[in-house]
Structure 1
Amino acid sequence: MHDIHHIPLSDIDADALPRDRISLAPSALSELQASIASLGLTHPIEVWAKHDPLPDAPRHGLISGLRRLTAMRALGHTTIPAFIRAPSDIAEAMTRMVAENEIRAAISPWEKGRLVTEAVAEGLFPTFDAATDSLYRTLDRHRRARIRAMADVVAEIGDHLLTSPETLSQNQITRIAFALRADLGPLITTALRTSKQKSPDAQWKTLLPILLEAEETARTPRAPLYREGRPRRMAQVRSKLHIRRERTPDGWSLRFTGPEATGPLMEDIMDRVEGDFGQTR
């Protein structure tokens, strides 16, 4: 049985590891605070003793229990019950954190992929494959493969283009990953960057035509419809005018975005189309 230590909150570094949680839900945190205020903290957090802490810096790094630590701080406690673990290195500490959260906390698919990319960026693992296999070693091969695909999506799109990436479902991220494998990454990032609609639902609707094209192309045998280097899916004809080709249920559309995408310009384009393909009747 491991001893429980009561460690000062000021002596715990919550950011010692890349976390697998982007944000804490206020409602869930409030419920946890109410439970702790009524019943006390029933499950100690996990920390490890740093080997070489900086002067006046916390001597312990948090492994698991971010919500519990945050709630205890909000309630004004000065110490917290904790198990002191002895991981062999930071990578092992991260693996313990992941294992704990797989049991206790609902970590979104995006957050899992993000943790893999951060672990590699921090130099803790050489590749996404190595990070996934180590951090999620308790999962079966198919679930690890899904997380590995999520890491590709996070690496390609990043956190800054999507308003609330942690709200994306497993199926949504899988569809985006499929489109990335079809070399539609630049089209996806351009669509998100140039769209003025920034709500999660609107951003998903922006992506749907691109995802549908990738999926339709995979279902349909390739035919020599285009010359080499085509089809073109987007063009920037001026610095403030972007054109993007999109698949629709019954055909294709050209989407014009940017400050120069004005009504008069659309009239000019319609005139040019009529001139090239024949007058309307």
Structure 2
Amino acid sequence: MGGGFVAMVEENEIRATLSPYERGRIAVVAARGGAFVNTEAAVEALFAAASKAKRSKIRSFAQLFEELGDLLRFPEMLTEKQGLILATALRNGGEAPLRDALEQGGPAGTIAEEWGLLEAALATLEMPERNPRRGGRPKKAPAGGEGERIRLSSGFTLVRDSDARGPLVRIEGREVAPEVMEDIIESIRRCLEVR
């Protein structure tokens, strides 16, 4: 049965752009329908070609569907950022205030009205500080030493440096031919195996 869901998702990804929410909903429906043991397995199978980061976002929207899907009127119109903010709030115990805001605010007529209700509830929640070690792109390159620069007459520059994982050698300048790169790697391998 899971294979049928995979084929359907692949077809939908080709023919129509699915919203992040729709991807999460499909994973939950497939798991609830017994095609997969749980939502996590559904996401992994249905979106196997997606990057790890994209699958993580799909899991966040799956949680959004599970916990707020019955109350949201415009879930497909949520931006990725809005959905991830809501998923973070849900992971940190915000389900009750978010549900209350949607129930007590009455049916929203537009996505802007619905998001306004949700934003008001989010403002009352204590959100943990974002861990800079998790997710996202680094703000700047990891700091290493200044590195020794060796300029070669051929136009290349060798940069010797190190970081927390060990020594680094970088080749700067023009493009290195693949066969030359293979020779360089082989020379390094021989040097390291002998010592």
TM bracket, shorter-chain basis: 0.5 to 0.7
Structure 2 residue corresponding to 1:166, chosen from 76, 93, 103: 76
Report the Cα offset of residue 197 of structure 1. Answer: 5.0
1:196 equivalenced with 2:106 (yes/no): yes
Confirm or deny: 8 A CA contact 2:89 2:127 kept in the other structure. no
Larger helix percent? 2
The residue that corresponds to 2:19 in the other structure is 108
Matched letter for residue 88 of structure 2: F
User: Within 2, Cα distance between the matches of 1:145 and 1:217?
Assistant: 19
Alignment of 1:37-186 (within 5 A): 90-158=1-69, 160-186=70-96
Pick which of 203-212 and 115-124 moved more: 203-212
Cα distance in 2 between the residues matched to 1:213 and 1:183: 12
The two structures have a TM-score, normalised by structure 2, of 0.62
C-alpha distance in structure 1 between counterparts of 2:107 and 2:44, whole Å = 37
Q: Matches of 2:10 and 2:127 in 1, distance apart?
A: 38
- For structure 1, the residue ranges without an aligned partner over 5 or more in a row are 1-89, 221-281
**Superposition CA RMSD, Å:** 1.7
Which letter maps to 1:91? Answer: G
Amino acid at match of 2:4: A
Structure with the higher strand share, 1 or 2: 1
CA-CA distance at 1:213 after TM superposition = 4.4
CA distance in 1: counterparts of 2:89 and 2:13, whole angstroms = 28
Q: What percent of counterpart residues are identical?
A: 32
Instruction: Measure, in 1, the Cα distance between the counterparts of 2:107 and 2:65.
Output: 20
Structure 2: runs of 5 or more not aligned: 131-195
Whether the aligned pair in 1 keeps the contact of 2:61 and 2:87 (CA below 8 Å) is yes
Aligned residues: 129
